[in-house]
Structures are given as C-alpha cells and as structure tokens.
Amino acid sequence: METVATEIIDGVLTITLDRPDRLNAFTVGMQRDLVAAFDQADDDRSVRCVVVTGRGRAFCAGADLGSGSGTFDRGAVAGDGGAVTGDGGAERGADGNGSTPGRHRDEGGLVSLRIFGCTKPVIAAINGPAVGVGVTMTLPMDMRLASASARFGFVFARRGLVPEAASSWFLPRVVGISTATEWCYTGRVFGAEEARERGLVRSVHPDGELLDAAYALAGEIASHASPVSITLTRQMLWRMLGEPHPMAAHRVDSAAIDELGRGDDVREGVVSFLEKRPPHFASRVPDDLPAFTPWWDEPEF
C-alpha cells in the first residue's frame, strides 16, 4: 500500500493516511489502500480494534485537486478506462474494488461502505484538518476524537458538488438533520469545539495527546470486551438504524443471546466478574462468529 501505513500493537490496528506532502489528500489509490487495510482488519484474528489517523499536520484535506478544474470530470480526466483522482471519480470495469461495468461509483462511498461493514470497532483520531471526503469517511467510524487544531468542513456545495461517501445517510444519524443541513448548505469550515458540542466528535485533546487518548479507548475495548460480542454489537447498532420496527432487533438479539449464552465467552465473563478479575476471552473474529451471521442481505449498487 502506497498511501496508507498499517501497524498492529496489542490487538490494535493503526491505519495512517500517509500522504503528508499533500495533506493526506484522497485519491483513487487511497481508496483502494483503505479498502485493503480494512480487509486486513477483518481477516486478522489478532486485531481487536482499529484506529485511523493521518500523518503530519492534517487528517485528510479532501479530494486531491491536483488535476485542477477537471478533477471531478471523469470523462475529461479518466479518458477511456482510467480513473479520476479524488472523490467523484470513475472506475470502469470490474477490478475487485466494487466497480460496476459502465457505471460510476463514488470512491468515497466505497470506503464508507467498507468501513460500515467492518467487523471490528473503528476509532478516528482526527489530528488536523478533515474536509470533504476527509470528514465524510469518518462518519461510519464508531467514535471520533479530535485534536484541538482539527478543522472540519462539508464543503461540497461550495465546489458545485453534493455530499458523497454515503454521508447523506450517515451525517443526520450522527448529528441530527438540522446540524447536517446547516453544515452542508453553508459549506463553512468549523473548529473542533463546535464539532464536539454538536456531536460529531466525542472529545477534543491537545495535539500531542490525541493518539494516547485514542489508544486508551481502543485498549479498553481490546482488553475487556469479548471480540465476538463487539462484532455482533457493532453490526446490530449500525444496521438497526435503518429498520422500521424494533422487532428486527428483537429477532437478532434473541438469536445472539441464545447462541452466545451457551458459549465459553459468557462463562468466562460471568466467572471473571464473580472472581473480581479481568476476563480472558478466547473467541476471535472472524473464526468464532455464530452461524446466523450475517443476518442481513447486502444490497447491490
């Protein structure tokens, strides 16, 4: 991978956007690398939690605008069979990255949908400016922490575009419809404290303390929670946002309680509580997921 770096320490996979000379601006190559990094997270049974951050002074400054005014013109930039650099690009032909022959798919959306489907919890450590796809890609992450120097902007209307990366689905669910409309209609850039006050980020930290705070949160998850429980809980919480009736949740949690209740992790969870010691869960993901998962049908593009 050329645009992101990965490292696993104590069950935590760190994915670092790694184009600091371009403020980690988003490209088609970064889309592919991010999808590959989250594939790694899902496939590696040692990974218990994921932290995403940026190299240098930015998290992600949005789409790479190096192609100038034609950046988002997939016909002008892509030619025949190429790919636009940045969100709104074109992928022609099936290449294993979710492309559909003859139909354009937004690269930011491919990243967001991949994160949405991740089986491990995901924490964003937003270390600087996060604009355009730089902020929308964080919306399907479970928790967002920001440095005091972070800045955010849903700037699409100021570029003649619309919110991408499936953010018209995610953003109102994270911050509410009124805040989502204000930020998207004005396209203004705002600071970390406003982001915290309006629910976009969990907490704001001095620049030098951000990663420590993110790793402390990731470590709490990795050390004290059952991996299978976390995977099922993540999918339940996110996917139930789109269900019309709580019966959908009742069906899934009934199946999960029935199957997990007979397993070793539950026994360890109860015994460790009674013995007043930390639990030592043996389950791993994806190896030990119950047979009823996935319980949903994945929609087609």
Q: What's the burial of 69, exposed, middle or buried (CB within 10 Å: 0-12/13-18/19+)?
A: exposed
Task: With H, G, I as helix, E, B as strand and everything else as coil, classify residue 2.
Answer: coil
Q: Does the structure show a pLDDT above 60 at 248? A: yes
Are 111 and 250 found together in one domain? no
Rounded CA separation 145/164 (Å): 22
- Dump pLDDT digits (tens) for 140-173: 999 999 999 999 999 999 999 999 999 999 999 9
**Which CATH number does the domain housing residue 289 bear?**
1.10.12.10
**Helix or strand (DSSP H, E) at 131:** strand 130-131
Domain boundary among 220, 237, 260: 220
Q: How confident is the model at residue 82 (pLDDT cuts 50, 70, 90)?
A: very low
pTM: 0.90
- Domain limits at 178? 4-220
C-alpha count within 13 angstroms, C-beta hemisphere, residue 174: 27
Are 207 and 245 found together in one domain? no
Rounded CA separation 292/229 (Å): 14
Are 112 and 9 found together in one domain? yes
Are 231 and 86 found together in one domain? no
Amino acid at 53: T
- Dump pLDDT digits (tens) for 22-80: 999 999 999 999 999 999 999 999 999 999 999 999 999 999 876 555 555 565 544 33
Backbone angles phi, psi at 157, to 5 degrees: -65, -30
**Which CATH number does the domain housing residue 16 bear?**
3.90.226.10
Are 214 and 235 found together in one domain? no
Tokens matching residue 294:
């996935």
Number of independent structural domains in the chain: 2
